[in-house]
Amino acid sequence: MSDETATLLIADDDPGLRESLERTLTREGYKVVLASNGNAALERLQGGGIDLVLTDLKMPGLTGIEVLRAAKAIAPDVDVILL
């Protein structure tokens, strides 16, 4: 990451948690992008510009582990944190 603001992608099926994380991380100076599920997160990740992915472990559809595997295939240098 450079001196620019890092962009974090949050993938969580719980809107309350997603928005809470967004508020907290935005206050800390990060740019935050939201995805309501694993597929949406991977689509957004393919667009580039993401520095870190925060993903819920248990989601309908793709699980956090599946998002992690696919994210590493799409953008190997992007770190993924499972919540």
CA dihedral 45, 12, 10, 37 (to 10 degrees): 20
**Residues 8, 19: Cα–Cα separation, whole Å:** 13
The string of pLDDT tens digits covering residues 40-81 is 999 999 999 999 999 999 999 999 999 999 999 999 999 999
Residue 7: exposure state from Cβ atoms within 10 A (0-12, 13-18, ≥19): middle
Q: Domains in the chain, start-ordered, CATH in brackets?
A: 7-82 (3.40.50.2300)
Q: 8-42, pLDDT tens digit by residue?
A: 999 999 999 999 999 999 999 999 999 999 999 99
